[in-house]
Each structure stands twice: as C-alpha cells, then as structure tokens.
Structure 1
Amino acid sequence: MGLMTDTMVWPTLQANDARALIRFLIDAFGFQENVVHGDGDQVDHAQLDWPLGGGIMLGSGKPGSVWSLKPGTFGAYVVTDDVDKLHERAAAAGAEILKPPFDTDYGSRDFTARDPEGNLWSFGTYRGESARVG
C-alpha cells in the first residue's frame, strides 16, 4: 500500500483503456501506482499518487452510470519542481506536447501535454496562493 495522505480533494477521470492510461501516466509523467482494483481490462478503481503530494483516481469508462465521465475530457494542473526534466520525460514517452516549457508572467515555469486518451495536463512550478484568513 502507498503512503498515507491527508488529501481531501481527488480529481477523477475515466478512460477507454484505463490500464494503458495508468501505464502512460506512470511512465510519462511520474505518477506512482498506489492501488488498482479490477479484473482483466476493467479497472473499477485506481489511485495514482503524485510524488509531491495528492494524486488522482481513475477507472474504466462507465457509460450510463450515475458517475459517468466522458473519457478524454479531464484537465489538471500538477505542481512539479523540475518542469524541463519532466517535459523531456513526457516527450520521450510519447506525450503530445501542446506547449513546451515556458515562463509565465506570475513566476511559474510550465508546459502543457495531452495523454493518449485526450486529457490535458499542465505541469508547472506555481504552488498556488496562501489561504487568506479573515
């Protein structure tokens, strides 16, 4: 079992070929497999952890169910410490690079890619703003 986490928000997605997408997300982007439940090609539930904290949950597409998400319509911003190294890894693993590494006007270094299912991934150094109290 993976590391304990106190993450309270879990982005989720569904895939036409969840097992292939899991392999891609691990190989191309560096997610870490925590758990995968299901038989054969079917993935009922998977959790992939991000090395800096948090992660995603995903599974095989479930057309017609109450919890049905169209595969390929997910998008996420993921914080990384080394954008250029991750960009090289993603490109080498076959990710479609939509925007190579660039510097933003708010101090982040980012790049944008698409996975084989069509989901959009933006990776960057921007960690968000601190919570405002009061």
Structure 2
Amino acid sequence: MDIRIYHAFLPHTDAEAAIAFYRDALGFEVVNDVDYEGMRWITVGSPDQRGTTLVLHPPAVDPGITDDERRTILELIAKGSFGAVTLATHDLDGLFERLEASGADIIQEPTDQPYGVRDAAVRDPSGNLIRINHLT
C-alpha cells in the first residue's frame, strides 16, 4: 500500500499575516493562493518536501455551520485551541531566532524534553499552535 499525507488544514483569520508568517518567517513557499467569494485559501509547502502542504483556509466556511458554531470556532482559534501542527527542522535554534525576530507569538523556547525531543512552540497569527521539533 502506498499512502501519504498530502494536505493538512489550518484556519487563518488574516491571509496577509498568514503568508508573512509561513513564507517569510518559516521559509515555506506559497504553492497556491485562491480567492473565492472574498475568501482566500493559501497552500504553503517546504521547498525540500514537495507534495506535502498546509492549506490555510478561512475558518468555519462550511455552509452547515450555524452562526453560534462559527463564533465558537473563532473563539477557539483565537485562544489557540483549535488547530495545531508539528513541524521539524535540522536547525531549531536558527529557525527559532528567525521566528523570534519576526515577532512571532513565542509559547516555548527550544527545550530538551524529558521524553527525548528538543522542541519549541509558537502560535501563528491566527492562534494555531505550531510546535517545531529538532531533527538529529
């Protein structure tokens, strides 16, 4: 069987801020930027890992969602409790310095965890939790 992760989805609440974070601070390429009915879906990916991407989408666009559910989703996004992803790099300290210089919302500086992982954590401009593991 040949199965792969192709897309992962995270909501964004500000397309330009999302692009600045994922492209300029993290170093991803913008693979696709689609405007549809005043909303934007932005696909970003690592230049070193073609075919696996993050799709940054407008939150709560499902037509079956009620206004109350939409408000709840937006509140969870703002609190950082809705979306999360773990990335990995061979230069955690260098990437962390770049994120810090960009003004990213720092949650955890690079730390050697007791379970054997060195990692850091930030929030993207929408509030999504981004953990970054150090690859050895």
The TM-score normalised by the length of structure 1 is 0.74
What is the identity percentage for the equivalent residue pairs of Structure 1 and Structure 2? 28
Structure 2 gap segments, 5+ residues each: none
Structure 1 gap segments, 5+ residues each: 1-5, 128-134
CA contact (8 A) 1:95 1:115 kept: yes
Aligned to 2:121: 112
User: Aligned to 2:43, what secondary structure does the other structure show?
Assistant: strand
Deviations 1:64-103 (A, max 9, x none): 5258893522111101110000000101111111110111
- Alignment RMSD, CA only? 2.7
Structure 2 matches for 1:1-134, cutoff 5 A?
7-38=4-35, 42-43=39-40, 45-53=41-49, 54-66=52-64, 70-71=73-74, 72=77, 73-126=82-135
Change (3 A) 1:32 1:99: same
CA contact (8 A) 1:15 1:61 kept: yes
CA contact (8 A) 1:14 1:70 kept: no
Distance (Å, rounded) in 2 between the aligned partners of 1:8 and 1:51: 16
One-letter amino acid matched to 2:83: F
Deviations 1:45-74 (A, max 9, x none): 321002442220122234452588935221
The TM-score normalised by the length of structure 2 is 0.73
Q: Tell me which protein shows more helix as a share of its residues.
A: 2
Deviations 1:93-124 (A, max 9, x none): 11111110111234332100112211100001
Distance (Å, rounded) in 1 between the aligned partners of 2:130 and 2:11: 15
Distance (Å, rounded) in 1 between the aligned partners of 2:110 and 2:120: 4
Moved over 6 A (4+): none
